[in-house]
Amino acid sequence: MKQKRGANFSPTSGDSERKRLEVSFGLILTLALALSIIIYVAVLPFRASYLGILLYDRGWTQPLAIWFACIVATLTLIKLIKINREFRSLKRIWISDVINFNNPQSLEVLTFQKNLARENSLVGLRCSRVIAAYSQSNSRKTASEFALDDASFYVSSSESSYAFPRILIWAIPLLGFIGTVVGISQAVNGFNGFLEKSSDIGQIKQGIGTVTSGLAVAFDTTLLALLLSVLVMIPMVLVERYESRLLLAIDIFINDELLPRFKEESNSLEQKNLKEAVNQAIQESFPRAQDLIEPAHEYAKQAVTDLRLILGNELTEIQKNNQSFITQLNEINQLSLQDRQGFTTFLERQQQAYQDLTGQINRLFEGLKINYTDSLENQQQVNQDLINQVNGLVEKLTSNYRNSLENQQQVNQDLLTKINNLVEQLKVNYTGSLENQQQVNQGLLTQINHLVEQLKVNYTGSLENQQQVNQSLLTQINHLAESLKSNYTQLSGALTTQSHQMTEQLKQAANLLETRIQSLENAAYKLSDITQLKTSLDHLIKSLEKVEPVEQVIKEAMSQIKELKPSLEKLSKPRIITFAESDE
């Protein structure tokens, strides 16, 4: 996808080259310190002059003010040198009409970009970075956005580089005010000592000198601070304007001379990028079919495995029941085979008896044939006897056969009864096993229900315990909330008390400041009373006219007092000093 904004492109130069207009503060501080030392060394031969007294004899704030002013002046001077050099580079640089920017990856464009990167100028560096962004993105719009980001960076960097000098320009008058406070404090302290020792003429002269020296410190520190702040503020503002003009000229050069030479990006590429973006979004947002099939396949496998286990367990139970049933049927078959074998043996015996009887009958017929010729009557009688015997035998055989049939039927009936009994027993056993299984299942269900009831009871008990624990936790939380509320109330009360105390302390400080101001006003009023002191001194001079040395001293004191009177009258008047700084 197309990259956005210029920040996505790697710079073709380091941060040190991008900060071409910035100045090292370590170097500035060192140069400013050296310049301050040079100033003090240069003024040293003129120590007795007003300038020497102003720098050497007016307190510790003067060197700091000089050093701060030298820092601002040095930074302004170095900035001015760099900006002038960049303006000269801007006038020298030009883009040939022969260079064709339609192909951003061409050797001609890349060579021109590298040549600009090697230029020792800000405009060359910025043009090189814009061309590099155009070469990487193949988009004029992206290069324009990159140029806009680069311009914003340099504007913000320029504004931040002047933050420290502005602070110093504000600090220089503050140092003057601090010196003013120190000088007035010295003057007031000296005046108090002067009033305590006003009986001695020498002490009067010394006290007046202390007062005047303190006032000199107060006004000279303010004078130097205000003068230095004005002297360094105006050039710095002008140089800042000059740098803004340089950055604006570079932006105009890039927008008018470089960016119009770039080729516009085609719509087909945008459509292609749009399609790629849509496809990528679809791939990222919607799952693949394989991702949906695999979980379903795994779920089906797991379901088949579980079903196989369940069916295997059920089939195992069914096989066990069938095996026991087959075993019982085999026992029944064995009993049936034994009964059939006994019945077959009985039939074989009956057939053997029939064969023996048939043999006897045959032998009798043979005997009859032999004796038939002997005597017919005897034969008939014998035949009748034989018929009777045969009939008896037939009846006997019939009765025996009937008995055997009845016995066989009885045996068969007994076998059928046994088989039916066995079947009934199997049914009873199978029904009993089913009933036992049902009883077992019923027992299991009863145990499960009992366990469920126990679980319900335990769960109910655990719920009650959990509710009790939650209730205790809620009680503890309420206690903690109450304690937090009480602690917060106590803390708010303590903070309120501390705020009241701080308010009282601030009021006391304000009262002290007001008292200090009133003391300063009283000091001004006391200074106005010097005129009355002058009158008393006039009377004293009249009484000491005969003493020439004393008269000379008094005349000098009078002259000093007369010179001091206008200054003291001006000092007694209220003053308002206002400082204002304009960004323009």
Handedness of CA 104, 108, 110, 114 (dihedral sign): negative
Between 55 and 17, where is the model more confident? Answer: 55
Distance from C-alpha of 152 to C-alpha of 159, rounded to nearest angstrom? 11
Residue 47 has pLDDT above 50, yes or no: yes
| Per-residue model confidence (pLDDT) at position 517 | 63
| Per-residue model confidence (pLDDT) at position 76 | 92
Residue 234 has pLDDT above 80, yes or no: yes
Distance from C-alpha of 499 to C-alpha of 505, rounded to nearest angstrom? 10
Band of residue 7 on the pLDDT scale cut at 50, 70, 90: very low
Residue 3 has pLDDT above 50, yes or no: no
pTM: 0.42
SS3 201: helix
Structure token digits, residue 319: 């096989």
CB 176 within 8 A of CB 207: no
Mean pLDDT score across all residues of the chain: 71
Torsion angles phi and psi, residue 58, rounded to 5: -120, 30
Name 584's Cβ contacts closer than 8 Å, sequence gap at least 6. Answer: 237
CB 10 within 8 A of CB 18: no
Distance from C-alpha of 498 to C-alpha of 492, rounded to nearest angstrom? 10
| Per-residue model confidence (pLDDT) at position 571 | 57
The distance of Cα 360 from the centroid of its chain, to the nearest Å, equals 125
Band of residue 579 on the pLDDT scale cut at 50, 70, 90: very low
pLDDT for 241-266, tens place per residue? 999 999 899 888 888 888 877 777 65
Between 531 and 165, where is the model more confident? Answer: 165
Between 54 and 336, where is the model more confident? Answer: 54
* Helix or strand run (H / E) with residue 364: helix 289-372
pLDDT for 186-232, tens place per residue? 777 766 655 555 555 565 566 565 566 667 677 888 888 899 999 99
Q: What is the mean pLDDT of residues 489-501?
A: 65
Name 315's Cβ contacts closer than 8 Å, sequence gap at least 6. Answer: none
When mean pLDDT is compared across 268-272, 325-329, 346-350, the lowest value belongs to 268-272
Band of residue 359 on the pLDDT scale cut at 50, 70, 90: confident
Residue 157 has pLDDT above 70, yes or no: yes
Distance from C-alpha of 245 to C-alpha of 242, rounded to nearest angstrom? 5
Band of residue 5 on the pLDDT scale cut at 50, 70, 90: very low
| Per-residue model confidence (pLDDT) at position 151 | 85
pLDDT for 473-489, tens place per residue? 666 666 765 765 666 56
Of 153-167, 191-205, 406-420, 436-450, give the range with the top mean pLDDT.
Answer: 153-167
Between 375 and 3, where is the model more confident? Answer: 375
Of 144-148, 279-283, 323-327, 531-535, give the range with the top mean pLDDT.
Answer: 144-148
When mean pLDDT is compared across 39-53, 470-484, 523-537, the lowest value belongs to 523-537
